[in-house]
């Protein structure tokens, strides 16, 4: 587990969990974070994400970046990583359905996004992050992309029309 001191002098412990079975290690923490995350879309809930993993509807290996402040999970980036040529490509889990996917975080710990970006770059978790279902209203995910671009990643955004419903 990596430890980073955030800008607010708050210690944030970071962890990378790989594989489908890893979800069970932090399931209760994930549910607690989702309950505390005021603006979290349902697409970042554990039941939603785990369904895609369980049904084999992801490309690559599930990888979860976890950020803890004390014993509380304050940030989570769930995605799948696959190799394409020599690059590691990461994509949020659940992109096959109309949804908004990004970073699940506790708004009381705003520096968690920068801490997650630090871990991504230091551990080279992925080379390319492909998110075709990012909402402009998802401040945390947009902040993550901005920080990654400050750290040397290149970014490109294409604005599309929003989807306000899901076919069930």
Per-residue b or e along 70-108, where b marks 16 or more CB atoms closer than 10 Å to that residue's CB: eeebbbbbbbbbeeeeeebbbbbbbbebebbbbbbbbee
Over residues 109-135, the mean pLDDT reads: 91
DSSP lists the bridge partners of residue 76 as 66, 104
Q: Is the predicted pLDDT of residue 146 greater than 80, yes or no? A: yes
**27 vs 136 pLDDT, higher one:** 27
Give the whole-number percent of the chain exceeding pLDDT 90.
Answer: 59
pLDDT digits (tens, 9 = 90+) for 8-54: 557 899 999 999 998 999 999 999 999 999 888 899 999 999 999 99
Closest by CA position to 109, among listed 6, 38, 15: 6
Question: What are the tens digits of pLDDT across the range 152-161?
Answer: 998 877 776 6
CATH class of 2-150: alpha beta
Cα torsion at 45, 46, 47, 52 (round to 10°)? 100
> Which residue matches tokens 């909402």?
135
155 touches 145 (CB < 8 A): yes
């Amino acid at each position: 587990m990596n430890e980073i001191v955030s800008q607010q002098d708050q210690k944030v412990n970071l962890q990378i969990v790989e594989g489908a079975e890893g979800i069970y290690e932090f399931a209760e923490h994930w549910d607690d974070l989702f309950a505390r995350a005021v603006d979290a879309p349902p697409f970042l809930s554990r039941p939603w994400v785990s369904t895609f993993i369980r049904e084999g509807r992801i490309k690559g290996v599930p990888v979860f970046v976890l950020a803890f402040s004390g014993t509380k999970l304050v940030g989570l980036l769930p995605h799948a990583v696959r190799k394409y040529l020599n690059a590691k490509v990461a994509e949020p889990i659940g992109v096959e359905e109309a949804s908004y996917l990004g970073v699940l975080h506790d708004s009381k710990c705003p520096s968690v996004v920068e801490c997650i970006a630090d871990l991504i770059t230091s551990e080279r978790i992925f080379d390319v992050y492909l998110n075709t279902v990012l909402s402009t209203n998802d401040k945390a995910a947009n902040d993550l992309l901005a920080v990654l671009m400050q750290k040397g990643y290149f970014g490109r955004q294409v604005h599309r029309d929003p989807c306000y419903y899901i076919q069930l």
